[in-house]
Amino acid sequence: MSFALNPLPNPELDLDPVAAVTYSAVFADICDSIGLRQQTASPGILPLGAGGTLIGWARTALSMPVDAPPARHYGNEIDFIDSLRPNDVAVIDCARTPAAAWGELFSTAAKGRGARGAVIDGLIRDQVKIRALGFPVFARGHRPTDSLGRVSTQAADIEIELGGVVVRSGDLIVADEDGVTVVPRERATEVIALAVAKATTENQARDLLLAGGTLADVWEKFRVL
């Protein structure tokens, strides 16, 4: 399986401080403000691994139903996960099958490669072990059914759809308990800076409200709600 990797928008950016102060909703708001109003995945992709905000660069894959195991068991999945780089987020379109497309060992291998998490438009298994690993995984649900002979990765680093949103490798993924926001890679550096600034403003607005200020005060001063 071939990989068509694009240069990352900002490979030197430390994503940990960004994840510490931002979240999916603030990124969605910034996307709205610059005219990108369809960047959040449809409801139902939920955190089933470690908590907190997951931020990283998408690595996409498409999985499709199959009728029998491939000659090389899990071959394409192995190649894809072994190709993950630090700060990558595995983003897999596996919406067409009821089998689990991701599990504990895939999570362990991805974490060992330096990936920040995985977002699966489909099902996973080994949820308890993934949570104990401390690896952020988002998916639509869980089921113990193995993927072998039921679903197989067909392509990687291609344009896929995640809950109605187009995702390409190199796009920025922001996922938390509210859902998933996808930022096109061409706007990622700009949107990150604006999201950090907006989150800081929202903290100031929260302090004003806790001190007895009104929502009207907050709107007039900060233009956030």
pLDDT tens-digit map of 186-221: 999 999 999 999 988 877 777 878 888 888 877 777
CA distance 207 to 172: 30
- Residue pair 127/142 in contact (Cβ under 8 Å)? The answer is yes
pLDDT digits (tens, 9 = 90+) for 12-54: 889 999 999 999 999 999 999 999 999 999 999 999 988 899 9
| pLDDT digits 0-9 by tens, 151-180 | 999 999 999 999 999 999 999 999 999 999
What is the Cα–Cα distance from 91 to 14, expressed in whole angstroms? 20
223: left (phi over 0), alpha (psi -120 to 50) or beta: left
How far is the CA of 99 from the CAs of 5, 133, 145, 184, in angstroms? 28, 22, 5, 29
Return the CATH fold of 15-183. Glucose Oxidase; domain 1 (3.50.30)
Asked if 47 contacts 180 with a C-beta cutoff of 8 angstroms, the reply is no
- Burial environment of residue 222 by CB neighbours within 10 A (0 to 12, 13 to 18, 19 or more): middle
Interior CA angle at 172 toward 171 and 178, to 5°?
Answer: 130
Determine whether 76 is exposed, middle or buried from the number of CB atoms within 10 Å of its CB (0-12, 13-18, 19+). middle
Give this prediction's pTM.
0.91
